[in-house]
A = this chain, B = another copy of it.
Amino acid sequence: MATARPDTLQPRKQPRQARSAVTVAAILEATIQVLLRDGAPQLTTTRVAARAGVSVGTLYQYFPNKQALLYAVLQQQLEAVAATVETACRQHRGQPLADMSDGLVNAYIDAKTTNIKASRALYLMAAEFDTADLLGEISRRIDRAMTAMLATASDVDLPRLPTVTFALRATLAGTVRVVLERGATPAMLKMLRSELPAMCRAYLAAATQRPRAANA
């Protein structure tokens, strides 16, 4: 009884023919373009349809309302971030805690800053409607990947894993968001690249209880 996405946000129908799949892709792409070029207030369904080269009616054949459209775009991007983090976590299993931390932090920053403008646009969109369920799902995926990685640290034992994972994810997501929303100047990004790894490493070290038997 928890995660089901409200019906009103479900895509209205699956494209069954090649041309309609193209149409849907064009609409999603047009949404980001309009948001980026014209800004949130100008993000009207008519304008999106026009840029996608279709009529409003066509847009509403695939998305029951404007929110469902934004939801679909947001979902695309968040899943890309989750996938990036999952890969990084898999790659760093069994390594020392500090290496894991750095790997995770850098992967997360990478994922969010490869397309800064798009990321900023998504923060704006995400606030325009209820994204709790989508964010919850993605958060759980990331938490799972992080927890699985942290449990395999080669040098230390990390207690209270759920709590520590939550704090770590909140810090990653929060700081990166603050930087992106405040303009993400080169200076800010540089600080992110140096301080966020330092912060996470220091926190994880403080959260560690006892060094592993072997090479302490």
Which A residues form the contact surface with B (CB < 8 A)? Answer: 40-41, 123-124, 126-129, 132, 135-136, 139, 163-164, 166-167, 169-171, 173-179, 181-183, 188, 191, 194-196, 198-199, 201-203, 205-207
Contacts and interface: CB of A to CB of B under 8 A. Distances in A.
A67 to B, nearest CB: 9
Nearest to A174: B174
A39 to B, nearest CB: 9
Contacts of A206: 198-199, 201-202
Given A163-B195, A195-B167, A178 B173 contact: yes
A contact face: mostly helix, strand, loop, or mixed: helix
Nearest to A181: B135
B183 A178 contact: no
A199 B167 contact: yes
A95 B59 CA distance: 61
